[in-house]
Chains A and B, each alone.
Chain A
Amino acid sequence: MSLSYENYMNLLFHLDHGRDTVPPDIARRIVSNAISPVISVSSTPELDKHIRSTYHLDSLYMFLRFFGDCVSDRDQANEFLPLSSKEDPEQANILFGKEDNETEGGGENSLKVPSASNDAKSTSVRTNGNAGGARKRSNSLFQRDQTQSQYVRFTRPLDNLIESSDSNDMLFDYHSLEVFLESTLRLTEKYTNANTPFELLKKSLYHKFFSLAISSTTYLSPYETFNHPVVSLIAIDISAGQSYEEARDLLMRFKNLNHTVENFPIFMSTVDILPVFLLCYDENSEDEQNACQQLANQLKKQLFVESLSLPLWKESYSNDVKVELHQPVMSSLEEILYFFKSPTPTRLPLQLVNITYNILEKLVKNLMVPFMKRKISFWEETILQPKKSLFHGAKFFKKLISKNSNNFNNNQPASLGKDKSGNEYFISSSTEFLMRKLADWSMMLSDFKTAYATYESLIQDLENFPKYLASCFEWCAVSVLMGAQNIVTVKMIKNDINPLIQRALETYENCAADENSTGEELYVPVRSYETRCMFLASELFLSLSDTWTSTPYALSSLETILTECRLGPCSQIMIWERLSDCYFQRIDPRIRHKNSAQRVKTTVDEPVPDEEAKEEIVTRGLTRKRKAAFFRLIAANKWVEQKQWKQAFWCLKEIEGAYTGLEFVNREDLILARLKRQMNEAKTHIDEFSNHKVKT
């Protein structure tokens, strides 16, 4: 079984994949996932109660959040597959044996962890997993068609979101990020030993860190719409006798949120959110099934809202094998930290998991995506087209008009509005905001071309609104990097993409400076946009095929983060390590084939030293391996400072090869020898400590 996106992102729990290679377009996948459409889930108290009593989950949202990320991948169902595809008739026994073990150990085991022995078993089976034809859909990262995979994220009900938000919210919170890292490192320490393959794991950890740095809050930004819900799922419990009246009331409530919620942001509107009913019922009851169908028809005829039926309960579920669910790749930091603190394994019947995926696929394919496409073409026709035809590409005319329109901007109260705390934003119905939404939604649907064109045209309109402008620059660049990945040339990077990013950063910088001068806050929210922008840029640059040309840009972004952005110590070391990765990847394309061949050779058997030395005549100077080793060394030093011995140990192991045959590196007064000394001391110290503990 090949490494799936989810397995890679949660590699710590799939260490049997530890020797795989990094999925090639992982950066784009993470970005796609991070900006995927948000579905807000609201349910009646009765339904939540019903779910709590059967599945021990607090609410429907807590249930559905496990099904986020790439719906068609069915990650949660795959949690189970390796075992179910065993040809061995004993599988059930083994399976339940495992279940029992884990239940017993559940108290002290923080998260579900395949133990080492289980790993060995599953690897041996995995090879014939696909051959068994357990499922036709392959979720291999290498085969999937980009356009077919749709990622989604689930979130709490909209009113809940709004009430808990704060105007000083940031895109990500460097402090929580640090706490997250520390917890993850502790887990890593726990699940790995000296022989665990660590190269891929380290990359996976970085990517996890990266994904949280670019998308880790439910914060509703006024400048971009990625976190704004696209679909609002309204759920009622048929089993509890809820029917049309409840559904109608809930819908009315949702539609009226604009007025009823006190702090409803002026840049949001429920008009652009698709309401969908979710009717939860018991499949054993024929009455309920019929009721569902009738209600669905009624809702469609009278309220013009589609509904989906989810058989949340069924007798056979209780006999079905259970799947232990993993945390979704994209969750907010808050939630992740919460689960780190109080880990409770969640198990659901496999049948239900699969059925839920079926329903969600319907939701995404038949309702959400068509809705988004309809909206996009509507906005294109009503906003984009008139604008284009008016200017018709005549620059002079355009200038004239845009000048005038700038002057008139003050007389157009329709576009701008002030919220309760006096901040001025574009309102949800303004041309500017709708255009932004059009672009963002195109991004969500992987239509990068439209997205790019829209961002670009928006740039001219937003010249006087630096915060909007900065975000536009940023996403304009991101859309190119995401869309034109394979045809990006040196010239494009130099003349188009990098200037966009630089302008975005400058603009953010100016905004931050402005806020600094007025506000008393030390760390202004806009800084978090700036940091995210650099993270995004670095990772997307790094994923380009011509790494020789693109890595310097990635490097400079990361270096700027290090010097200018506020991050915790562990987060900083992650970046130091990434710098090393960047240098390692910097290989002239003309010698890349050689290099890979060389590396394979060294791993397979003893390299022919002569041949390798000669190869070096050509490759000399066209790689940055020594530079990479140096940055890894610095990272090791910093890990030691943080007393993260395992990480430091891995770093030193990684650079062993680079420094073999060099006598000077082991001099007593140099850093390498010192680090080794310190680590040995720490090791003996720990050993003594544990010995002591055992004795007493």
Chain B
Amino acid sequence: MRSCLFFKEMRNISRLFVIALLAMISLSKAIAQDGDAASGETLFNNNCKACHSPKDEVVVGPGLKGIQQRRDLAWIVKWVKNPNGVIQAGDEYAVALYNKFNKAQMTAFPAFGDKEVKDILAYIEKANTAVAAAPAGATNTAQAVSGGSGPSDLFTYILVALLLVMLLVLGVLLAIVSILSKAVSGDVSSSEGTSMGDKLRNGLVAFSKNSAVRSATVWFFILMVTKATIDGMYGIGVQQGYAPKQPIAFSHKLHAGQYKVDCNYCHTGVNRGKSATIPSANICMNCHGVIKKESPEIQKIYTAIEKNQPIEWVRIHNLPDLAYFNHAQHVNVGGVQCQQCHGEIQTMEVVEQRSSLTMGWCIDCHRKTDVNTKGNAYYDKLTALHAKKSKEPLKVADIGGLECSKCHY
């Protein structure tokens, strides 16, 4: 309860000092491309991820790396809004793509406009830049610490370095300009006897003594530290990237990825109640009663059964007690894919917390997600009422999805 949170908060407060040092780095989040990569990421995760990878591997549809080089924006927007239309219109590229992917047609996103597509493209680009800069394997610890959802840190380091170089160049240029202008105005005598270097130094000293410059610098740093502190505060208690070692080295990559075992097979509660449930040992034994019995990891299950002592897994996704979350509502009723919140679980050797699980993250999704009203008589009246008022699809937020006591009581 509170005491737990207290410790967690204290631990995180100590991290703030580290974060404050990285203040400038965090600021670089503001520097973005044409589209907003952060909102693009959410859009991508909610809508595209089930079929597309931001890299170049094929999931269901093609990988989206370099999409902007392949097609122009107008085409992409048209395609996303109405893929069928583009194919029907006989667009060569589109038809080729359609045939290449076994005539499986992409879902249309009529609600997406230029803004959304640009955001997604920004995200794709960012995802690829970050990966290119940081080779695989170098886990980004700083990100886990700050808990932010911004660009990778190496990327920000580069940007900051560039910024510094540019400032330096600017300073030098200003100095040169001032010297040259003095020379031109014939004020050479005054500079007689002083070297070029001295002049530059004097110029810089004068520049730094300027009170406006000084106060601007001070304010600049205060604001940056404040922002970094606030950003850091939002990260308190957020365990994004938390990937503890488990008592048994169970691989989701193998089971869910390679062997494509359905999530529901083991997580039996996911359609029924709050908890998706960690499978009990008897579920493991359905297969491992026969398969790979001799593996030392699987032997641990046998030992547990023999000793009649349940396996103590380490809990990864820790929602605080004050928040109510129900898997059945999201998976059974809402039709949300596991990956949307848990990330590409089928690729994880060791499971880690991919989403921040903050209230902002919840609310954000509730604002953007359409209610899965199809075939559910519960929503009939609500959709009818909503249709009268608005042409937009019914969002979770429209039916009280942002109200306090939906999750807190």
Asked if A pairs with B, the answer is: no
> Could you list which residues of chain A lie within 8 angstroms of chain B, going by C-beta atoms?
none
